[in-house]
Amino acid sequence: MIGEPFEVVEATAIDVLAGLGRYTIAVNDPPWSAVAGSIPPPVRVIDAWEMELSHLDRLVAEDVDCDVVVGFGGGTALDTAKYLAWRTGRRLVQIPTITSVDAGFTDAVGVRDSGRVRYVGVVRPESVVLDLDLIRSAPLHLNRAGIGDILSCHTGLFDWRLAVDAGHDPPWRHDLGDLGRVLLGQLADAAPDIAAVSTDGVRFLADAYRRIGAACAEAGHSRFEEGSEHHWAYCYEHRTGAHQVHGELIAFAVVAMSVLQGNDPEWAADLVARTGCRAHPDDLGITREQYVDALVELPDYALAEALDITFATLDRPAIDLTAVSESWELVCSLPKGR
């Protein structure tokens, strides 16, 4: 395995929280209210809804004495806890309650600064708690969305190889390339369990995140699993202010960008369909105009944000209108309403 993965403990969230002593907890609700009455009260509960840097700094300024910071919920709760633990130097425990994003398994502290994505520090949790029953009690689509940050290896590897061949850093690493391809193959094999949100499906997503997080931390970058699909999503969110479920938005973007890359888009679309992940634009509330506008702006946005080189920014290619139409038709062919 590349890098040192986080420790993952299968346990009930209630048991873990009851044994932590004095803790601050960043939560999403649901499911926080379902467990809050069964544990000793924390010293501080933060409703995690906003990742803007100015908001997070206000949370730090209101810090109270505690022994540990806990993230309990989805991406906003886990990332809020990371920021607080990083800024205060406290221990960190992560309890993801859905598998829609890999935030609990990565050490990068991601925030928004005036709506733009920024990575401002690194922090490692002392453990990630996997409460299988709690996770599986969430709406099915929030767990199926977990494919997004794994499926992104499909477009991320393509973009990285293209950039390296054109002379851009970071240099290609065969071990990271192999990891990305292995994860994609295993994701395809795990599709039925992910669609069913079985315990095996949840365990696979968590283990894949764990391997991705360890590899990104060791490499110092995430090129093998983050490329034009994430960059388009960042640009779209910045333009619209919308915040879809991260994994669903990334799954949509992987299918669309793979058409523009000429990178086996039918394989990506079939895998999204087989896992049951919602990625149809109607389910995500994405219009064709919004999709195209973000695509047109993507080269300028990526360059302004100093994002890694991808097919969208390499030599600033002209937009292929035929490929754009084909990409929209493919995402519109995905199953709806799951």
Output the tens digit of pLDDT for each of the chain's 338 residues. Answer: 788 888 999 999 999 999 999 999 999 999 999 999 999 999 999 999 999 999 999 999 999 999 999 999 999 999 999 999 999 999 999 999 999 989 999 999 989 998 888 899 999 999 999 999 999 999 999 999 999 999 999 999 999 999 999 999 999 999 999 999 999 999 999 999 999 999 999 999 999 999 999 999 999 999 999 999 999 999 999 999 998 999 999 999 999 999 999 999 999 999 999 999 999 999 999 999 999 999 999 999 999 999 999 999 997 767 788 999 999 999 999 999 87
Tokens representing 280 are 């149809």
Ranges in the chain annotated CATH 1.20.1090.10: 141-332
Superfamily of domain 141-332: Dehydroquinate synthase-like - alpha domain (1.20.1090.10)
* Residue-level pLDDT at 1: 75
Ranges in the chain annotated CATH 3.40.50.1970: 8-136
* Residue-level pLDDT at 317: 67
* Residue-level pLDDT at 337: 80
* Residue-level pLDDT at 116: 83
Nearest residue to 245 (alpha-carbon basis) of 204, 274, 186, 285: 285
**pTM value?**
0.95
Class of domain 8-136: alpha beta
* Residue-level pLDDT at 315: 76
* Residue-level pLDDT at 316: 72
Separation between Cα atoms, residue 305 and residue 231, nearest integer Å: 10
